[in-house]
Structure 1
Amino acid sequence: MTTLDIAADGAPATLGGPSLAQERRLVTAIPGPRSQELLDRKAAAVAAGVGHTAPIAAVAAGGGVVVDADGNSLIDLGSGIAVTSVGNAHPKVVEAVQRQAAQFTHTCFMVSPYEGYVAVAEALNRLTPGDFAKKSALFNSGAEAVENAIKIARKFTKRPAVVAFDHAYHGRTNLTMALTAKAMPYKSGFGPFASEIYRAPMSYPYRDGLTGAEAAAKAISVIEKQVGADNTAAVIIEPIQGEGGFIVPAEGFLPAISEWCTANGVVLIADEVQSGFARTGSMFASEQLGLVPDLVTTAKGIAGGLPLAAVTGRAEIMDASHAGGLGGTYGGNPIACAAALASIEAFETEGLVERAAAIGDVMLGRLRAMQDGDARIGDVRGLGAMVAIELVDPETKAPAAALAGAVARRCIAEGVIVLTCGTYGNVLRFLPPLTIGDALLHEGLDVVASALAAEASA
């Protein structure tokens, strides 16, 4: 049998979803021999620039676990970077995908429209923040959604400049690399980048010590002096920054930025690609942070693991583009739309918004208890099931990137998938599926605590 034919306990490799045993189980070292076989093939066949975090060959996933080709079952605290929020292979998603695939797999919505695309747009118009008429357009990835939001804002305002923030991450395409703040690994060597992109300081309470009002005044001053309100088409911001370190801005920061945008005719774009779809304990993080954006970009958790993204916003702004100005061959693929509708149904009917809040309570409580006894944990922050710890030198508070990497590797070796992030590479982020059970979640956090302790004595 090949590497991908075997799953845990001899089960078929296609068996996933809630039927998987919800347990951490290590039967080999990580990576095991079958996983190593695939990693060797990857090294020979896949471009070196495509890295990986966990050295395993995944064959099944569901609930709160990922199973590899050697039969190891790892606790999943990453959700494929906040994608499988409804749980991997959710039965409603699987059934919807199978049904749609049997009907048709593609027509291109721009050639012959179909109901699934329209129904997803209707759902997004209903769910996103703001009590005003909205419209949506569907795409393939978060970066593509961001690019199109910028296009729409520029078309609507007839202005060129776009303002992003320190620590921002918006994607890997040329324009979104320009918006992204972190050079390595996202930007180094890939320029020159798109023009008319500017950067303002972000509210970062742990490191800047400013109130939300103070941080907003500082950012607005930079925008007005270095860009000019009359030149600015859009301000784009992640309500909670993702790759930048799960930075939650100080209270009042986002409303002040929003008020400035409204007063100056600037389109405010909320990038909710990572923070959207119940992840933070509300359907969108903006709802908890006093933000009603003009446009919202979504992806990741929208479709239960299938590639889909969207721009949703004020109808008059969304309609600024001429016919044919928006689209793409695969944008709003019918199978992805079916998965999205099933996922949205799960979010709304299975208590997953409330579950995200409960998961957050567990994680924040456990991590803050760890922080009380460990000065290397400089900050614990997040909302709902989007939580992080920032690791620092206990004396200087300098970022401890090496520690974060070492802890993550120990966790993975012990059967818990943990991701790092942050401009300085010193943040551990926790994004469990919203279907994870409390016992498994606590066990995963036990492993994190053990890994931190082991690194203290290493």
Structure 2
Amino acid sequence: MATTDRAIASAEAHSAHNYHPLPVVIASADGAWMTDVEGRRFLDMLAGYSALNFGHGNRRLIEAAKAQLERVTLTSRAFHHDRFADFCTQLAELCGMEMVLPMNTGAEAVETAVKTARKWGYRTKGVPDGTAKIIVAADNFHGRTTTIISFSTDEEARADYGPYTPGFEIVPYGDLAALDAAMTDNTVAVLLEPIQGEAGVLVPPPGYLAGVRELTRARNVLFIADEIQSGLGRTGKTFALEHEGVVPDMYVLGKALGGGVVPVSAVVSSAEILGVFRPGEHGSTFGGNPLACAVALEVIAMLRTGEYQQRAAELGDHLHHELGLMTTGGAVETVRGRGLWAGVDISPSYGTGREISEKLMDRGVLVKDTHGSTIRIAPPLVISKEDLDWGLEQLRAVLTR
């Protein structure tokens, strides 16, 4: 067997089949390009689901990691280390907040947000013990832990994992009336993605997020924004909520915060809200470790320049213009998204999302499908306009009969 076939066969034999990756085996990467074990180059139009916003092998991030590797990588939270205070201070400032609770993965950060909201509800709002409710949106994707899939409407994510964690109310995404009707005195939080990525890059109706902010403020309910995929430059702003001038009570961050180098996540909020925790009530051995903080600090410094947000905005306008032109030919039914992030619904007569992804792979472009006939396009923010146009040309070729 060829090297690719041998690697895939070994993976299929010895790893659980919890993913269905495209049949490509990556060996190296730089910027917006990846190279497989056979030496073939591929344009990365997925960017690790936004974890690689700053591209593969970004020198600033790699150098920050290498420098920290030579000093100290882990202390646990049993001791302070010299990168922790700067990380928390600077991330809080970037978010316009006061406190940070660092974790590792996005799912851990969402779990932390759920725990924070419940504890705030009991200690601050005065909700009777054991009755706190959190409202979420249908078609959400916040992770895959048992509690998180308990409020998923994706049966593939939920099936055979019960019994499920109670305490969640699901309402239609984008429906303010339904959200208002679901709120009770025991509601402690509304947890939403400003743009639903896994659902197909769904952008809510104009005014919806501002309306959520008004409703939650009026009812003394926390607005928790899961910006794990949508945040840190992807949509042309530091946070997707900025497009409606909205500031939540709590940000949930991950993916790009670690620059594609190490897993870093965080809950960022006010001192009043995160101040509900006392020592021993929540934690993580690796959360906020020196290596993670060093890389995240460089990410924060890069975001402060605004150049990545501007690049995402400008190239994003171009991306959506070009994708919009494809809707006139019948192959593309709908295009959604914001910035360098798009969900493209392919007419089923042209193939499934998986089939289109495989055809693009054969032409040197890597994307990933979701929900049948939808493909997601989310290249690293460092992609050149020329490379972006080349990738779009391959999509046009695949969809031409």
TM-score normalised over the length of structure 2: 0.94
For 2:84 and 2:334, the matched residues in 1 are separated by 41
The equivalent residue for 2:242 is: 287
For 2:396 and 2:289, the matched residues in 1 are separated by 42
Mapped contact 1:411–1:417 kept (Cα < 8 A): yes
Unaligned runs of 5+ in 1: 1-31, 204-214, 395-399
Mapped contact 1:171–1:180 kept (Cα < 8 A): no
Q: Which amino acid aligns with 2:149?
A: M
Does 1:312 pair with 2:284? no
Superposed CA offset, 1:49-92 (max 9, x none) = 2x243322211112111111100100000001111111111111
The equivalent residue for 1:4 is: none
Q: Which amino acid aligns with 1:266?
A: V
The equivalent residue for 1:25 is: none
For 2:135 and 2:357, the matched residues in 1 are separated by 33
Does 1:71 pair with 2:39? yes
SS at structure 1 position matched to 2:70? helix
- Aligned pairs for 1:53-452 (under 5 A) are 53-108=21-76, 110-128=77-95, 130=96, 133-158=97-122, 159=127, 160-184=132-156, 186-203=157-174, 215-221=175-181, 223-224=182-183, 229-305=184-260, 306-349=262-305, 351-374=307-330, 376-392=331-347, 403-421=352-370, 424-452=371-399
Mapped contact 2:348–2:373 kept (Cα < 8 A): no
Mapped contact 2:367–2:376 kept (Cα < 8 A): yes
Please report how far the alpha carbon of residue 350 of structure 1 lies from its aligned counterpart in structure 2 after TM superposition. 7.2
Q: Which amino acid aligns with 1:39?
A: I
Please report how far the alpha carbon of residue 180 of structure 1 lies from its aligned counterpart in structure 2 after TM superposition. 2.5
Unaligned runs of 5+ in 2: none
* Distance change (3 Å), C-alpha of 1:334 and 1:290: same
Q: Which amino acid aligns with 1:356?
A: A
For 1:182 and 1:134, the matched residues in 2 are separated by 35
For 1:253 and 1:322, the matched residues in 2 are separated by 35
Q: Which amino acid aligns with 1:420?
A: D
SS at structure 2 position matched to 1:115? coil
SS at structure 2 position matched to 1:372? coil
Q: Which amino acid aligns with 1:83?
A: A
For 2:245 and 2:298, the matched residues in 1 are separated by 29
Please report how far the alpha carbon of residue 258 of structure 1 lies from its aligned counterpart in structure 2 after TM superposition. 1.4
TM-score normalised over the length of structure 1: 0.82
Match for residue 47 of structure 1 among 2, 8, 16? 16
**Which deviates more, 77-86 or 318-327?**
318-327
Q: Which amino acid aligns with 1:442?
A: D
Q: Which has the higher contact order (CA 8 A, sep 6+)?
A: 2
How many residue pairs match? The answer is 392
Q: Which amino acid aligns with 2:294?
A: A
Mapped contact 2:196–2:203 kept (Cα < 8 A): yes
Q: Which amino acid aligns with 1:151?
A: K
Cα RMSD (Å): 1.7
Mapped contact 1:302–1:343 kept (Cα < 8 A): yes
Q: Which amino acid aligns with 1:63?
A: G
Superposed CA offset, 1:85-119 (max 9, x none) = 111111111111111111111110x2111132222
